[in-house]
Amino acid sequence: MAIASPPRTPPPPPSGGAAGAPPGRPRRAGLAGNVRGVLLGVLALVVVVIAFIALTAPSGTEYKALFSTDELLVLGDPVEVGGVPVGSVSAISLTGHYKALVTFHVDSSLAPLHQGTSAEIRIPSLSGVANRYVALTPGPNNYPTLPAGTTITKTSSPVDLDELFNTLNAKTRRGLQQVIDGFAAQYAGAEDEVSAAVGYFPPTLRALDHVFAELVRDEHTFSQFLVNVAQATTVIGAHSAQLQSLIANADTTFGAIGSQQANLARGLQQLPLTLTAGTRTFEGLPPTLAALRRLVEFSKADTKTLPQLLGRLAPLVTQATPVVHNLAEAIDRPGPSNDLTDAALALPKLAKTLSTASPDTIKALREGLPDSSLFAPYAPDFEGLLRAFGQTTAYYDADGHYAHVLPEFDTFKLGEENKLTPVSPQEGLEGLKTRQLTRCPGAATAPAADGSSPFDDNGLLGCDLSEVP
């Protein structure tokens, strides 16, 4: 920074008597001004440097990761989380145990990291020599935070094929070469199909990688799982005899299944048809269920009275139990020719016997149906005649009492002042009617209240409804 100095005053003439300032004072004032300007310039330079450092210094936190090998990792390689860059490698050193200590910077958007964080050196492709990056898997954010400079020991490094092959002896390498040649001969001519199948390998491996990463994320739980598996294996090993029997039985079972290959093949052929029919059935099931649901809704009101019905039905069931038992015994009873089932089985034979033993009788009965049908409506009257006649002329009445009675006609009549007066035989027969030869069925008794008797079948019987007692 340039500082202007005041112009110098020309020295006074050597007069000796003129009073003035000492000759050295103007020079001291100019030197002080130059020193002040230099200090101001240095101060401004320090401010600029500090501002530059503050503005250009990367924000975030540095951590360290201990790898078994750095696998050609170089300074400046990216640090990623889920494929997104979040930092870079700032230093690589070798520890006393011949391991790689990698120092990396993490942006403030990810910092601070939490316990359970793991680091892995990955190789995106084989097209470059040093194209490596550090992939971080952050721990759960509810775990304690990791202070800056913490060394992450949960790490993994890729293994090159050369290192793997170097662990094999010459005989094993020749065998592996023969296996590869065998694969080449096996897949010859099917390169397109193999290429399509290989395309599924990367996502499968990535999925497996995530699976294994989740398995080892909680080491305590995973270790406990391995211990439990070991204990289960020990228990299984203690029952080796039973396990061998199980395997032998399973072998026998699979052998039996294998012997039915033809039946299984037919079953598999019918399976699509069965599934199709089942699909149609299931398609019709929703309307059925909807109708059933409506039925249930409508039935809810009736179910309120169902307990009462069941309560009344219980005595009926109790009383009907012996009746049903007797009916079942009558229908089906142990022994020959002693129940209704045997009788029903004998009816066809009886019908055949009757139809062949008396054909003339059957013919006469069929021809006599028009004549005998005239007497069918009079069956109740005939039955009543036999019943009433027997009761009238018997010595015992309907109640079982011995009766000293005889049928006789009226010998008295009710006269004036309710007095009985004798009548002559001729007068006793005055109420009797004769010549009633065309009575209708039911005319011998009082007419029914519903008008069903006397019965003339709408005039088809040819009887006289006026002939009544």
pLDDT at residue 80 tops 90: yes
Using pLDDT thresholds of 50, 70 and 90, give the confidence band for residue 15.
very low
Angle at 10 between CA 9 and CA 13, to 5 degrees: 130
Quote the percentage of the chain above a pLDDT of 90: 12
How far apart, in whole angstroms, are the C-alpha atoms of residue 291 and residue 285? 10
Q: Where do we find the tokens 């993994």?
A: 156
pLDDT at residue 428 tops 60: yes
**In this predicted structure, what is the pLDDT of residue 130?**
61
pLDDT at residue 316 tops 70: yes
pLDDT at residue 403 tops 70: no
Region 181-195 average pLDDT: 83
How far apart, in whole angstroms, are the C-alpha atoms of residue 136 and residue 77? 13
Using pLDDT thresholds of 50, 70 and 90, give the confidence band for residue 18.
very low
Using pLDDT thresholds of 50, 70 and 90, give the confidence band for residue 5.
very low
Break the chain down into helix, strand, coil percent, rounded to 5.
Answer: 50, 10, 35
Q: How high does pLDDT run on average in the chain?
A: 78
pLDDT at residue 104 tops 90: yes
Region 242-253 average pLDDT: 87
pLDDT at residue 416 tops 80: no
First-to-last C-alpha distance (Å) of the chain: 163
Quote the percentage of the chain above a pLDDT of 70: 78
Per-domain boundaries in the chain: 60-158, 340-367, 378-469
**In this predicted structure, what is the pLDDT of residue 398?**
54
Burial 327-342 (b: 16+ CB within 10 A, else e): eeeeeeeeeeeebeee
HEC profile of 357-394 = HCHHHHHHHHHCHHHHCCCHHHHHHHHHHHHHHHHHHC
Q: Where do we find the tokens 């897949």?
A: 187
Beta-strand (E) ranges in 71-115? Answer: 78-81, 84-94, 100-107
267-314 pLDDT tens trace: 888 888 888 888 888 888 888 888 888 888 888 887 888 888 888 888
How far apart, in whole angstroms, are the C-alpha atoms of residue 144 and residue 230? 32
Distances, alpha carbon 368 to alpha carbons 62, 155, 351, 365, 463, in Å:
126, 116, 20, 5, 21
Using pLDDT thresholds of 50, 70 and 90, give the confidence band for residue 158.
confident
Pick the range with the lowest mean pLDDT from 239-253, 277-291, 421-435: 421-435
pLDDT at residue 391 tops 70: no
Region 132-151 average pLDDT: 91
How far apart, in whole angstroms, are the C-alpha atoms of residue 188 and residue 194? 10
pLDDT at residue 166 tops 70: yes
Region 97-110 average pLDDT: 90
Run of H or E residues at 225: helix 219-238
Using pLDDT thresholds of 50, 70 and 90, give the confidence band for residue 408.
low
- 3-state SS class at 329: helix
